[in-house]
Structure 1
Amino acid sequence: MLSIEAINLDRDQLGEGPLWDVEQQALYWIDSFAPALFRLDPKGARKRWDLPEKVGSVALTRDGRGAICALKSGFHRLDFASGEVVPFAPAGPTHPRSRINDGKVDRQGRFVAGSMDEAEQDPICLLYQLDQDGTVSVLDRDIICSNGPCWSLDGRTLYFADTTRRLIYAYDYATQTGAVANRRVFADFAKLGLAGLPDGATVDSEGAIWCCEVYRGRLLRFLPDGTLERSVGLPVESATSLMFGGPGLDIAYVTSMARPIGGVPPKEREAGMLFAVRGLGVRGVPEPRFAA
């Protein structure tokens, strides 16, 4: 039976990047505008780390001591014990109006994150790949708003959304080198008649792609051939991202935002809260850690 519960009643201005860590059995997420990283442990205790710049996404490190944070000026390392944030790698070519946004770790431990135009209007942004030694490569260009990177179960297909263009792309992904090729449209929201935009995404254990349809308030499930298999309504239109977690990896944790859009505040009281969606009938896959 489907159930949706708000598990964090604080309202994030821009909740993003839910990340379930299997080893700790703990949930992490960010408020991009606070800016801060949060952790909710199995007993319900909450931890907050304040960050010096807007944050688009984070990747936990394999040593368990901290995280790599995609901040406006580049990739930084956060030490969980001290709270210290130090530069790890610059983002490379940037535009004054861009900042790094959504990102995830591939099966080999590389961090892939793209940037976004903060005005969400021009193709001035890039898709980056961060290696464990701090090397940053550019995988793609001419992006307006990066979101939703995730991989097929075999790691050979990268899915990635340009939110403003209302498109989800698929790329061939070379697992040994991290190179991408053969970009094609995986899902065109306009052609599918979807009113919202593609935002954060993840892949389930059956290889299907789940995406938040922001400004419409739905979870969408696409089969690997691009077929839209189902949609699930949410309490808020401003849902931004999701990740499967919990002991059985069968709970979809969904973030949302409370910030006004175009000067208009969200109409729902729950906007900005963190939700747990149970009863979807599918499981996720463990999220890799960054290889450093």
Structure 2
Amino acid sequence: MRIEVLVDVKTTLGEGPVWDVAEQRLYWIDSLGCKVYRCTANGREVRAWDVPERIGSMALRRRGGAVLALANGFHFLDFKSGETQLIVDPEPGEVSNRLNDGKVDRQGRFVVGSMDVNEEGPNGALYRLDPDLSLHRLDDKIICSNGPCWSPDGRTFYFADSWSGEIWAYDYELDTGSASNRRTFAKLDTSSGGAADGSTVDAEGYLWNAQVYDGRLIRYSPEGKVDRVIEMPVKKVTSVNFGGPNMDILYVTSMSKPPLPRFPVDGIQGGSLFAIYDLGVRGIEEPRFGG
């Protein structure tokens, strides 16, 4: 195994790596810098798009372009023009909240959670945007939504409220997109100040979680047991996703500045996009949004 800095763009809050199998490109975002980035598997041909608000997550669309979870609602992004178009704001008037982490399920629905911007109050909720652009609430009373992903068969949905100290599992209904029977999947060791951030599931059904402020990536078995621990060169790792020509490179985002004063700072590599090679594990292609 080896860890390399793939792109050194010093994202303020790097998040949400997404590998595009069709175009063989990696996308990721700077949540606080209001940008979407793209590069090749080896970190070349870097391109960026500005977006008008803080961005929590993005997913590619079957029709081209992307769907974004911006601070004040779901938007489409046209890569050719750079223009964004509002779809719906799920929390109008909630000035203390913003949309955060999200991913697309196997049926093409975009599941995104909101968060309290001060990461203190349980003001957030979990939403599902369907391909017909209808909006549905799946859960609520969340402080900081993070780490949505699914088991390979799509029937188990994983999600975390970062400050709960847990990663949860839900039963996920394939036909309707409903989530039920929330339970604890894994408990984190939070003694050093870490919290659950972005996650992905590999082809073997193991969940990988970036534990922000603790500088570790944890691989959990389908039973929620710690299988592997990777110590990263920075503390503020934020999200993970597999990609590359063989889907065997683990891409890891990080932040250059903490969003709040109480969080620790990193060295010169903070904000870099990292690539981890030779893990002996492959990922699963991320579905595209159907709308």
TM-score class, shorter-chain normalisation, is over 0.9
Residues 41 and 245, structure 2, Cα contact 8 Å, conserved in 1 = no
Q: Please give the residue correspondences for 1:115-134 in structure 2 after superposition, counting only pairs within 5 Å.
A: 115-134=114-133
CA offset digits 1:19-55 (Å, max 9, x no partner): 0011111000000011010110357211111000000
What SS does the aligned partner of 2:131 have?
coil
Query: Following TM superposition, by how much is the alpha carbon of 1:63 offset from its aligned partner in structure 2, in angstroms?
Result: 1.9
Distance 1:7 1:160, change over 3 A: same
Instruction: State the distance in 2 between where 1:240 and 1:120 align.
Output: 15
Aligned to 1:240: 238
Query: Following TM superposition, by how much is the alpha carbon of 1:95 offset from its aligned partner in structure 2, in angstroms?
Result: 2.5
Residues 72 and 91, structure 2, Cα contact 8 Å, conserved in 1 = no
> Which one of the candidate residues 204, 207, 210 is aligned to 1:209?
207
Query: Following TM superposition, by how much is the alpha carbon of 1:230 offset from its aligned partner in structure 2, in angstroms?
Result: 1.2
Aligned to 2:103: 104
Q: Matched residue pairs, number?
A: 289
Instruction: State the distance in 2 between where 1:232 and 1:238 align.
Output: 14
Aligned to 1:46: 46
Distance 1:126 1:93, change over 3 A: farther
Residues 251 and 277, structure 1, Cα contact 8 Å, conserved in 2 = yes
Distance 1:214 1:265, change over 3 A: closer
Could you tell me which runs of 5 or more consecutive residues in structure 2 were left unpaired when the two chains were aligned.
none
Aligned to 2:254: 256
What SS does the aligned partner of 2:164 have?
coil
1:60 aligns with 2:55: no
Aligned to 1:171: 170
Aligned to 2:83: 84
Letter in 2 for 1:110: R
Letter in 1 for 2:8: L
Instruction: State the distance in 2 between where 1:158 and 1:267 align.
Output: 32
TM-score with structure 2 length normalisation? 0.96
Aligned to 2:2: 3
Aligned to 1:69: 68
Distance 1:94 1:197, change over 3 A: farther
Query: Following TM superposition, by how much is the alpha carbon of 1:264 offset from its aligned partner in structure 2, in angstroms?
Result: 6.5
What SS does the aligned partner of 1:164 have?
helix
Instruction: State the distance in 2 between where 1:94 and 1:156 align.
Output: 34
Distance 1:194 1:160, change over 3 A: farther
Instruction: State the distance in 2 between where 1:61 and 1:281 align.
Output: 30
What SS does the aligned partner of 2:163 have?
coil
Query: Following TM superposition, by how much is the alpha carbon of 1:165 offset from its aligned partner in structure 2, in angstroms?
Result: 1.3
Instruction: State the distance in 1 between where 2:197 and 2:244 align.
Output: 22
Aligned to 1:147: 146
TM-score with structure 1 length normalisation? 0.95
Residues 30 and 38, structure 1, Cα contact 8 Å, conserved in 2 = yes
Percent of aligned positions that are identical: 51
Instruction: State the distance in 1 between where 2:213 and 2:264 align.
Output: 12
Instruction: State the distance in 2 between where 1:252 and 1:230 align.
Output: 14
Query: Following TM superposition, by how much is the alpha carbon of 1:9 offset from its aligned partner in structure 2, in angstroms?
Result: 1.1
Could you tell me which runs of 5 or more consecutive residues in structure 1 were left unpaired when the two chains were aligned.
none
How much is the aligned-residue C-alpha RMSD, in angstroms? Answer: 1.5
What SS does the aligned partner of 2:81 have?
coil
Instruction: State the distance in 1 between where 2:61 and 2:265 align.
Output: 35
Instruction: State the distance in 2 between where 1:264 and 1:23 align.
Output: 38
Aligned to 2:185: 186
Instruction: State the distance in 2 between where 1:264 and 1:241 align.
Output: 17
Misfit runs of 4+, over 3 Å: 192-195
